[in-house]
Amino acid sequence: MTAFPAPASVIPHRAPFLFVDVVDALEVGVSATARWRLNGDEWFFGGHFPGRPTLPGVLMCEAIAQVGAYALLSDPSRAGKLPLFGGLDAARFRRQVVPGDELLLEVTLGRMSARAGKGSGRASVGGETACECELMFVLVDA
């Protein structure tokens, strides 16, 4: 099994806003698969929702985007760049995600230019889709 660089060594996100624990697969500039294990101590669970902690859907989309950023920024030609959200389309939330769940995050990058691109992603738990969305991003100097 290939070991990939830690997410924090590739993407600029840091705790408490780094939602990728480990990368399992990478095709540089094309796709990546990663995991995020939710232990229940995350800052958002206390208020979303008291008595029934649930991962906010928007954070699933952010986690998918972070995996896309990993695939993108693993390409040396993108050194010194920062991918920012340009849009989010077709987001669908199919299942509740709770403490103890492990999200499998899969992203495939699509059309790319020097300054922008698109991708699509999926978050799943135990093979069951929790979220899927299409991402648009712009590249700026870091």
- Which whole number is the average pLDDT over 70-83? 94
- Homologous superfamily of the 15-141 domain (CATH): Hotdog Thioesterase (3.10.129.10)
**Whether the predicted model's global pTM rises above the 0.75 cut:** yes
Both tokens of 96, joined, read 């509740």
Nearest to 70 by CA among 34, 116, 122: 34
Task: With a cut of 80, say whether residue 1 has pLDDT above it.
Answer: no
Q: Which residues are catalytic?
A: 48
The length of the chain is: 142
pLDDT at position 135, please?
A: 97
Yes or no: say if 103 and 60 are a contact pair by the CB < 8 Å rule.
Answer: yes
What is d(CA 50, CA 63) in angstroms, rounded to the nearest whole number?
A: 22
Sorted by where each begins, the domain ranges of the chain are: 15-141
Residue-level pLDDT at 79: 87
